[in-house]
Chains A and B, each alone.
Chain A
């Protein structure tokens, strides 16, 4: 398919890998963070890290929306799902995230009507098909997914679907990045910017990274050549002594983003004063809730929720993994007590989580093997 095949060409990939090799200084260690979970997945699916020199290290960032949901939010969702007459809908990976007393999948097994949907629009369709039931959609995701939820809420309003509501756990990408950059235990040389978040927000929100912290950012697509080229562009900036926001993914991402998406988000959502992130703690102005104009469609108002903060399991080191401080296999329970079948932490649940990506693609090696 056009726009796909040409970005998987092996010969060009090897040529870019050679270009990368020619740019690295032998005595220097480069630590680059891919912000987005989709990039993490592509890197291991296509073996991109094996094409890199040994002194170029990829660190996995907090950009998996499932992985950053704290246990207390899962408990809130389960509490809503157990209400009589409720059909609780969520994306696939969300169903397996452990709360303090099981997951939504466990709640389903215990009798709650929990259904997986592929989009908020599917949840709205279920509401229209079941007018005598309350249908709740557990909305998660960064700015990529938030417009979809916003448009669905507008559609619910326009079509007068009153038995539909949203439990909003959308988050924004800039506050956690700033928190990471302020973190004293993490030294990064540059960022592979999130391609599809940028489709919505554009390149401007990332300008603070070169301006305030002196690090390069290259917004990248998700095919193997996209990621290799982005790494080459970051290394080129470092070798030239530059730091700026560059856009490798110009075929999709305009610098100003999608203005219609930003408008609809501004209408439907407002920033929460603070939001809890798994492993990162509370971060100011990093989560979205429904605006006053849409409060009647807010599931957290329509239903009572515990709203209790639950500490992460002690054995779980998702926080350090999300911050890129340790590699997944350095976690004490990786691949033993914590596996995709029986996850302890969220990073092992979502296939975009760093731990699951390592586990599924056989990255158990304690030492990297570089060709």
Chain B
């Protein structure tokens, strides 16, 4: 994988139905978006409507620019 949400020669997170754990760095509450970083530090703007409320430090499972789950709070 070349970075969060990227389609590299070996892997495509979108096409592979993959999800990337990403940590929330900063949130834009008005627009429902968050700046998140993956394990390599690659940053991406993420849609957070499905997992709100989120706070900096939360770890989200991100797929195609959308957070599908919040890892710490999962059952």
Which A residues fall within an 8 A CB radius of B?
1-4, 36-38, 41, 63-66, 91-94, 116, 118-122, 140-142, 144-145, 147-148, 151-152, 155, 194-197, 199-200, 222, 250-255, 258, 260-261, 264, 350-352, 360
> Would you list 21 pairs from A and B whose C-beta atoms are within 8 A, ordered by A residue?
A1-B21, A2-B59, A2-B71, A3-B71, A4-B21, A41-B11, A91-B64, A92-B15, A118-B64, A119-B14, A119-B65, A120-B64, A120-B65, A142-B17, A145-B64, A151-B47, A151-B66, A252-B19, A252-B69, A253-B69, A352-B16
Enumerate the 5 nearest inter-chain pairs by beta-carbon distance, A residue then B residue, closest first: A119-B65, A92-B7, A1-B39, A148-B66, A352-B16
Given A65-B17, A141-B14: A252 and B65 interface contact (C-beta under 8 Å): no
Cβ-defined contact, B16 with A3, below 8 A: no
B2 to chain A, nearest CB (A): 11
Q: How far is the CA of A254 from the CA of B71 in the complex (A)?
A: 11
Given A351-B10, A351-B15: A250 and B66 interface contact (C-beta under 8 Å): no
Question: B5 contacts which chain A residues (CB < 8 A)?
Answer: 118-119
How many residues from B make CB contacts under 8 Å with A? 33
Which B residues fall within an 8 A CB radius of A?
5-7, 9-12, 14-19, 21, 38-39, 44-45, 47, 49-51, 59, 61, 63-66, 68-69, 71, 74-75
Cβ-defined contact, B50 with A65, below 8 A: no
Question: B11 contacts which chain A residues (CB < 8 A)?
Answer: 41, 351-352
Given A254-B75, A351-B11: A147 and B17 interface contact (C-beta under 8 Å): no
B31 to chain A, nearest CB (A): 9
Question: B39 contacts which chain A residues (CB < 8 A)?
Answer: 1, 4
Cβ-defined contact, B15 with A3, below 8 A: no
Given A4-B39, A118-B7, A121-B45: A148 and B15 interface contact (C-beta under 8 Å): no
Q: How far is the CA of A255 from the CA of B75 in the complex (A)?
A: 9
Cβ-defined contact, A351 with B16, below 8 A: yes
Question: A255 contacts which chain B residues (CB < 8 A)?
Answer: 75
Cβ-defined contact, B50 with A93, below 8 A: no
Question: B47 contacts which chain A residues (CB < 8 A)?
Answer: 119, 121, 148, 151-152, 155
Cβ-defined contact, B65 with A122, below 8 A: yes
Q: How far is the CA of A287 from the CA of B7 in the complex (A)?
A: 24
Q: How far is the CA of A244 from the CA of B46 in the complex (A)?
A: 35
Cβ-defined contact, A64 with B21, below 8 A: no
A46 to chain B, nearest CB (A): 13
**Given A41-B11, A145-B17: 13 more A-B contacts, CB < 8 Å:** A2-B71, A3-B21, A36-B17, A38-B18, A118-B65, A119-B65, A121-B66, A148-B64, A148-B65, A152-B47, A222-B19, A258-B69, A350-B16
